[in-house]
Structure 1
Amino acid sequence: MSALSDLLAFQRQTEALSQVMGRLGWDQETMMPPGAAEQRGEEMAALESVLHARRSDPRVGELLALAEAGTEAEKSQLRLIAHAHARATKVPADLAAELARVTSVAQGIWARARAADDLAAFLPTLETVVRLKRIEAEALADGGDLYDALIDDYEPGMKAAELAALFGRMRPRLVALRARIMEAGPTPEHVAGHFPKQVQLALSREIAMAFGYDMEHGRIDLAVHPFSSGSGADVRITTRVDEEEPLGCLYSTIHEVGHAAYEQNIAEDYRLSVLGQGVSMGVHESQSRIYENQLARSAAFTSWLYGRMRDLFGDIGVASPEAFHAAVNRVASGYIRTEADEVHYNLHIMLRFDLERALIGGDLAVADLEGAWNERFLSDFGVAVDRPRNGMLQDVHWSCGLFGYFPTYSLGNVYAGVLHEALRGDLPDLDAALAKGDPSPATAWLRERLQRHGGLRTPRATIEHAAGRKVTEAPLLDYLDAKFGAIYGV
């Protein structure tokens, strides 16, 4: 046995245990009885202690010093293991366990507070989460920017200053497009009617499989906040159902299938290794957003979906495929990020980015967060927040301690814009397939160009290798201008 093989065998067990941890999280959000929250917190803390001990084990450092890599995959594995080991050794074991316990319990407290519109019931818990995340960031930052240290968990190598500059370039064009649309006059029709739960779920399953989701190695369940979990041979997704509004279920499913397809399509040789998962949340989000938006909200695909929904539900409140396409892409200043149109979505993310950066940096107190949120929301969206569940209680991320995660959503949109430009260049007849409800030419392109490579390359290199061009925001903004300019005549 060589140092390299010993190291990779040790890492394989760590990855397997990490998958178990993820399955506990999935169960907590879908199946766990509500009274089990405190015990689950202890279970998560215990398992996190084991994982942290393995990731920070001195033997990992010793094997890294001795290991010799020959292939590109081996070199990438050593790079990623070294990065994770360096981070783990900076975080005290008791802090890692406490974060796992607190954030596990916090999710249940957040869910109850959101359901009751009781912000006060959540604020003490959020105070604790923020305090612990700042301690963790201080341990990781080595005197540098605290928020940069947290971003690195989700988008390795990315910095807050680079994100701020990117958002600063995007914001003027997004605001200008929004203004033109708001002044354009009549808004598109709404989808309306009664859409039974089981029929929605059957259609969402049908669409999920059309987009390449392998149900032999996955399942679809319900959750308050849809998500994808797992990798390799066990990748699960969730969606939500409102019997008066079916688009939320269908497009949440497609979004999560984008995440799940990435994980399912990674080369089998990489399973239970550091390469056997998405390379970053920004790249992950590029897959979910391109599936959901550029493909599933295209005029070609919505023309097929309109007919399919009429077959299943009868009258759906809109009179034509063209009217349905406009309804699916309707621009409105809604409260909820996950339901936001493509024009407003990045404005939601920029709000959260600025607020959580201020929270972690110590420039904003948790007690003042609601006021800051509501003031910024009114400024950006022209609508006053009416209740906490439509404001700062809407997202699960902060209860989970996922500070630094939000900006990867917009980064994923930028990545998706670059990929879509390249994909359309290579697949000039794609709309003919989409109009038949068949996105497989596009999903196959993404599988071969990007998904099967897993964590082989850095995030930016992953996108640039797949698209054959540099990452910029221009393709996304040009796509938005063209698409919504056509729908709204602006």
Structure 2
Amino acid sequence: MTALTDLFTYQKDTEALGQIAGRLGWDQETMMPRGAADQRGEEMAAIESVLHARRTDPRIGDWLAAAEGESLSEVDAAQLRHIRRSFERASRVPADLASELARVTSVAQGHWAEARGKDDFASFAPVLARVVALRQQEGQALANGGDTYDALLEDYEPGATAVQLEAMFAEMRPRLVELRGKVLEKPAPAGLSGTFGEAEQMAFTAKLALAFGYDLSRGRIDMAVHPFSSGSGSDVRITTRTSATDPFNCFYSTIHEVGHACYEQNIDAGYALTPLGGGVSMGVHESQSRIYENQLGRSRAFTGWMFEEMKTAFGDIGVADADAFYAAVNRVQKDFIRTESDELQYNLHIMLRFDLERALISGDLPVADLESAWNTRFKADFGYDVPKASLGCLQDVHWSLGLFGYFATYSLGNVYAGCLSNALRADVPDLDTALAAGNTAPATTWLRDKVQRHGGLYEPREVITQACGAAPTAAPLLDYIEAKFSEIYGL
């Protein structure tokens, strides 16, 4: 057991350093002066060099070997599973490649934000090409002769493969496309009207965060170009953004990120600074953010409460009653932005990105041709032209960060959320009564107990299967979307 003690003590310091690296990333997106971008890139490269050296330290292999045959608790065995996976993967990646990836992706974020602001993909393309080349090298090293994209996907959803995701999308696409066609033939509900001040939006968004259980004594809400969540345990941070004419952009981005943040805050405190102290996968993480945002936050019951709260905060918002507000929240219309998309069309945005990024990583799609490929695919999938790059291939930060393999986990999270919602409503049949009063606790407590507290204790599909009593499938999500939008649009 001495080997285990030494290994876990060593790992705690590695986890702490990883949290520091994450805080640097948060600062870069929220507080850092833009002129510091190059220096921050060097800082990120330096800390990644330290982390890579720790993750590949030969002593880890010795400690793991010494632990073989020991009688282990469930928690200790799970920690060893994560450490072994990390050690084996990190050992395949050269140290200089890991450091260069950290430096280049740090600097690339600033280039992406600038290019997005100017709608100028051409200025960003050389930087993105460098990121893609580095991730191709990393994927090839990790794959060890296997599929490069699958090797990258493993970072975000252990055990998943592109072939499995293709099959999931093939099941989802026909029903979504057919339903969208029927919905778009109907008149769109009216949206909100008026101007909504930034300070007022941020005050209201804090109220929403608290309503969903976000602990602001261990968390923050700030603003960024692209909403995100970072941190774990006692230091979790989220960001949102505002629009003077579309407060839902701010409010539902916040609820979404609060889902991520509450997952991290509700993990068993005993797992802090261990491999179990964070969400087990991005798919499971996304299941929490999407069920908070959609099945709870966009439900008829909760939006009834939210309508009254918005009237109090903003006065006349341009809709007559709670039913009209519910329809406005769930309005389906032609759009471009994934993060602002309705539930019906959201997964179609993900399918586009999944196919394009696989082509980028395989080398079938040169970066220089990405904007054209995006626009062509978008026109084919959605039926209208992309007018500018900020509404197209520059809208998401992910590729500048090198997060290839990440996008598909959004749809996987939606699938998981559909399954969890069914199980939640079976266990809490009077849930809507609580939601109508702005009380999400019956739902968030159920999610905490069934999913969030476990952190990384179980494998991704295992935690969802245990929570739901059956293996996850796309059917519950598709049934939910079809029922919801058929009712709203009178189909």
Distance in 2 (alpha carbons) for counterparts of 1:364 and 1:207 = 42
Which residue number corresponds to residue 56 of structure 1? 56
- 2:194 partner SS: coil
For 1:63, give the aligned amino acid.
W
Per-residue CA deviations over 1:181-219 (Å, capped at 9, x if unaligned) read 0112x1100111111111111111111011010000001
Deviation of the 1:80 alpha carbon = 0.7
For 2:20, give the aligned amino acid.
V
Distance in 2 (alpha carbons) for counterparts of 1:139 and 1:187 = 49
For 1:179, give the aligned amino acid.
G
Which residue number corresponds to residue 363 of structure 2? 362
For normalisation by structure 1, the TM-score amounts to: 0.99
1:83-94 → structure 2 map (5 Å cutoff): 83-94=85-96
Residue 130 (structure 2) aligned to one of 128, 133, 138: 128
Which residue number corresponds to residue 405 of structure 2? 404
For 1:120, give the aligned amino acid.
A
For 1:7, give the aligned amino acid.
L
Structure 2 residue 322 is the aligned partner of structure 1 residue 295: no
1:344-423 → structure 2 map (5 Å cutoff): 344-423=345-424
- 2:21 partner SS: helix
- 1:389 partner SS: helix
Distance in 2 (alpha carbons) for counterparts of 1:280 and 1:207 = 25
Distance in 2 (alpha carbons) for counterparts of 1:462 and 1:18 = 24
- 1:157 partner SS: coil
Deviation of the 1:99 alpha carbon = 0.2
Gaps of 5+ in 2: none
Which 4+ runs in 1 deviate beyond 3 A?
none
Structure 2 residue 318 is the aligned partner of structure 1 residue 317: yes
- 2:210 partner SS: helix
Which residue number corresponds to residue 23 of structure 2? 23
Per-residue CA deviations over 1:62-87 (Å, capped at 9, x if unaligned) read 10011235211110100110000000
- 2:238 partner SS: strand
Distance in 1 (alpha carbons) for counterparts of 2:333 and 2:456 = 37
Per-residue CA deviations over 1:277-328 (Å, capped at 9, x if unaligned) read 0000000000000000000000000011001100111110111100000000
- 2:270 partner SS: helix
Distance in 1 (alpha carbons) for counterparts of 2:71 and 2:267 = 21
For 1:128, give the aligned amino acid.
R
Distance in 2 (alpha carbons) for counterparts of 1:73 and 1:489 = 50
Distance in 2 (alpha carbons) for counterparts of 1:327 and 1:419 = 25
Distance in 2 (alpha carbons) for counterparts of 1:468 and 1:6 = 37
Partners of 1:297 and 1:329 within 8 A in 2: yes
Counting matched residue pairs gives: 489
Gaps of 5+ in 1: none
Distance in 2 (alpha carbons) for counterparts of 1:303 and 1:383 = 33
- 2:465 partner SS: helix
Structure 2 residue 112 is the aligned partner of structure 1 residue 110: yes
Distance in 1 (alpha carbons) for counterparts of 2:160 and 2:369 = 28
Deviation of the 1:367 alpha carbon = 1.2
Which residue number corresponds to residue 157 of structure 2? 155
Per-residue CA deviations over 1:152-199 (Å, capped at 9, x if unaligned) read 000001000000011011000000110110112x11001111111111
Per-residue CA deviations over 1:261-285 (Å, capped at 9, x if unaligned) read 0000000100000000000000000
1:267-346 → structure 2 map (5 Å cutoff): 267-346=268-347
Q: Among the aligned pairs, what percent are the same residue? A: 65
Partners of 1:41 and 1:102 within 8 A in 2: yes
For 1:2, give the aligned amino acid.
T
Which residue number corresponds to residue 204 of structure 1? 205
Partners of 1:285 and 1:412 within 8 A in 2: yes
Deviation of the 1:333 alpha carbon = 2.2
For 1:241, give the aligned amino acid.
T
Deviation of the 1:242 alpha carbon = 1.1
Distance in 1 (alpha carbons) for counterparts of 2:490 and 2:65 = 61
Deviation of the 1:440 alpha carbon = 0.8
Partners of 1:170 and 1:473 within 8 A in 2: yes
Partners of 1:220 and 1:238 within 8 A in 2: yes
Structure 2 residue 87 is the aligned partner of structure 1 residue 82: no
Partners of 1:69 and 1:75 within 8 A in 2: no
Which residue number corresponds to residue 33 of structure 2? 33
For 1:189, give the aligned amino acid.
A
Per-residue CA deviations over 1:231-283 (Å, capped at 9, x if unaligned) read 00000000101122111111110000000000000001000000000000000
- 1:216 partner SS: coil
Per-residue CA deviations over 1:359-409 (Å, capped at 9, x if unaligned) read 101111111111111011011111100000000000000000000000000
Which residue number corresponds to residue 46 of structure 2? 46
Deviation of the 1:35 alpha carbon = 0.2
Partners of 1:333 and 1:344 within 8 A in 2: no
Change (3 A) 1:87 1:69: farther
Partners of 1:333 and 1:382 within 8 A in 2: no
- 1:144 partner SS: coil
Structure 2 residue 246 is the aligned partner of structure 1 residue 238: no
Which residue number corresponds to residue 437 of structure 2? 436
- 1:235 partner SS: strand
- 1:274 partner SS: coil
Which residue number corresponds to residue 262 of structure 1? 263
- 1:383 partner SS: coil
Distance in 1 (alpha carbons) for counterparts of 2:125 and 2:362 = 18
Per-residue CA deviations over 1:99-131 (Å, capped at 9, x if unaligned) read 000000000000000001111110000110000
For 2:11, give the aligned amino acid.
Q
For normalisation by structure 2, the TM-score amounts to: 0.99
